Amino acid sequence: MSAVVDTHGHGHEHGDHHGGYSGLMRWVTTTNHKDIGTMYLWFSFIMFMVGGVMALVIRAELFSPGLQIVNPDFFNQMTTMHGLIMVFGAIMPAFVGFANWLIPMQIGAPDMAFARMNNWSFWILPFAGALLIISFFTPGGAPGVGWTLYAPLTVQMGIGMDLTIFAVHLLGMSSIMGSINIVTTILNMRAPGMTLMRMPLFCWTWLITGYLLIAVMPVLAGAVTMTLTDRHFGTAFFNAAGGGDPVLYQHIFWFFGHPEVYIIALPAFGVVSQIIPAFSRKPLFGYASMVYATAGIAILSFIVWAHHMYTVGMPVTGQLFFMYATTLIAIPTGVKVFNWVATMWKGSLTFETPMLFAAGFLFLFTLGGFTGLVLSLVPIDIQLHDTYYVVAHFHYVMVAGALFAAFGGVYFWLPKWTGRMYDETLGKWHFWLTMIFFNVTFFVQHFSGLAGMPRRIPDYPLMFETWNKVSSIGAFGFGISQLLFLYVVLKCIRSGAKAPEKPWEGADSLEWTHLPTPAPYHTFETQPDLR
C-alpha cells in the first residue's frame, strides 16, 4: 500500500479507501478519515441550519406578548427539538469531523484505527436525525417536553417520544464508536517520536473527550431506556405512584448532562489552542498546564451534576457540596484562559478570520463562565433557575464557546482541507455580523432572566416585551449571517485562490519550540509510511 502525499499533506492510499467506487457510492463506502471528516462537517452544518430555523420559530413567537404564530404545543416541540438537534446533531458531529480530519495528520498516523467503524459511526447519524424530524409527523407530533426529556412529562407523549428515544440511542452509539476510534488512534498510532506530551493540544482535548463520552453516553442510554420501559412495559422507575421517583431521572440525566457540556467545550478548547499560537507567532504558553487543566476539568465534571437540581429539595449539605465542587471548576478553566492570553501577550498578532473567532471565543466564553459561576451559588440559582438568565448563560458557553471555535477552526484549516484560500473580507464580515447579532440576541436575555422571565414559555407579561423584541431581531440577524458563512465556504471550494504552502506564515514552524527535548527525527510535514 503506497502512500502518496501532495503538497498540502492530502494523503490517499491507492484504491484502498474507496474500493474503486466513484460518485455517491464513494461517499457511502469510504473509509478515508478525510472523507468521513468532511461528511461529519457537512451533516453538522445542515443540522445547524435545521435547528436554527426552529430557534427562529421560537424567537418569532416571542417577538411580542400573546400567541401569534404557533400554538403552545408546537412551541414546546420546537424548544425540545432545537435543543436535541443543536447538541447532538450540530455541535458534537462538527467536532468529530475536526477529529477525523486532523488527528491522524497531527500525530502522523495513516488513518483512523478502525476505518470501517468510522464509516458506520457517521452513517448512523443521518438516520438518527431523520427519526427526530419524522417525529413531527406522528400523531401528537414531536415530544414537547424540553430537550432534557424530564419525567413524568415523557410518559404522556405519543409515538414521537419513542422515535426520539430511539434517535438518542443511535446518536449515543455513534458517539461511543467514534470515541473508541479516536482514543485508540491517539494511543496506538502515533508516529515514532510523537510522545503524548508532544501532541498538539487538539489531540489531547479529544483524547480526554473520548474518555468522557465512553463514560457518560451509556448513562444517557440507561435514562431513556428506563423512560421507554416506564412508557410501555409497566415499570415505575420515574413514577411516584408505583414507588419510583421523577427526581431519579434528573440525577441520571444530569450525570450524563454535565460531562456532556465539557464534551462539547473541550474540543473547542483544543481548536482555540491551535489557532491562538499560530496568529500570535509564538508557542502556546504553559503546554503541560493546559493538558493537566483539561484533565482536571474532565474529572471535576463528574461530581457537579446536581447543580442543575438545586430546586428539587436536596439537603443543604448536598447543595453545599455541589456548589463548592462547581466553583472549583473555575480554577482549571481560569488556567486555560490565562494561558491563552499569555500566549497572545507580546506576540506578533495578526487578526485574520480564524484569530477573530478565537478572540471572540475567548472574550464571550469567559463571560459565559462568569455567569456559570453566578449560577453555581445556591441562593442565586434558586431565584434564577428556569429563567432566561440560564438560557443566556448556556448559549454564551455553547454558541460563543463551541460554535465560535468551530467557525474559527473551519477558516483556519480550510486552506489545508481544500488547497484553496477563502475570501478574507467576507470571512471578517461573517465574524462581525455573527459577533454583533449573537450579543444582541443573548446578552439582553440576562436582563429578562434577572427580571424573572421564565424560559420555555410561548407567552409572557408586557413588562418583558422590550428585551424579547431586541432578542428576536438579533436572532434573525444571526441566522441570516450564517448564510454568508455557507457562501464563503462554497466560494472557497469552487473558485478560491490556490493556497500557499504555509497559508498562515509562521504557524507550522512552532510545533516543537515549547519542548525541553530536541524534536524527533520526524517532522510530520508528510505522512509517514507505517507499513
pLDDT tens figures, 70-80: 999 999 999 99
* Helix/strand/coil for 33: helix
In the annotation, is 174 catalytic? yes
Where do the domains of the chain lie, and which CATH numbers do they carry? 28-513 (1.20.210.10)
What percentage of residues in the chain have a pLDDT greater than 90? 87
Among residues 284, 438, 281, the alpha carbon closest in space to that of 351 is found at: 281
In the annotation, is 232 catalytic? no
In the annotation, is 307 catalytic? yes
In the annotation, is 59 catalytic? no
Judge whether residue 15 has pLDDT over 50.
Answer: no
- Residue 434: predicted pLDDT: 97
Answer for the pair 181, 118: CB distance below 8 angstroms, yes or no: yes
**Residue 502 banded pLDDT, cuts 50, 70, 90:** confident
Q: Which of 190, 198, 258, 385 is catalytic?
A: 258
Output phi, psi for 4, to 5 deg: -110, 130
Judge whether residue 16 has pLDDT over 50.
Answer: no
In the annotation, is 258 catalytic? yes
- Residue 19: predicted pLDDT: 52
Per residue in 392-401, pLDDT (tens digit) is 999 999 999 9
Q: Which of 8, 12, 251, 455 is catalytic?
A: 455
Judge whether residue 301 has pLDDT over 60.
Answer: yes
In the annotation, is 262 catalytic? yes
**Picking from 151-160, 305-314, 321-330, which range would have the lowest pLDDT averaged per residue?**
151-160
The reported pTM is 0.91
In the annotation, is 333 catalytic? yes
Answer for the pair 335, 294: CB distance below 8 angstroms, yes or no: no
Answer for the pair 371, 393: CB distance below 8 angstroms, yes or no: yes
**Residue 358 banded pLDDT, cuts 50, 70, 90:** very high
| Mean pLDDT, the chain, whole residue set | 91
DSSP 505: T
- Residue 294: predicted pLDDT: 97
**Residue 354 banded pLDDT, cuts 50, 70, 90:** very high
Average of per-residue pLDDT across 452-481: 96
**Residue 510 banded pLDDT, cuts 50, 70, 90:** very low
Q: How far, in whole angstroms, is CA 253 from its chain's centroid?
A: 18
In the annotation, is 2 catalytic? no
Q: Which of 61, 162, 230, 260 is catalytic?
A: 260
Q: Which of 333, 343, 371, 387 is catalytic?
A: 333
**Residue 505 banded pLDDT, cuts 50, 70, 90:** confident
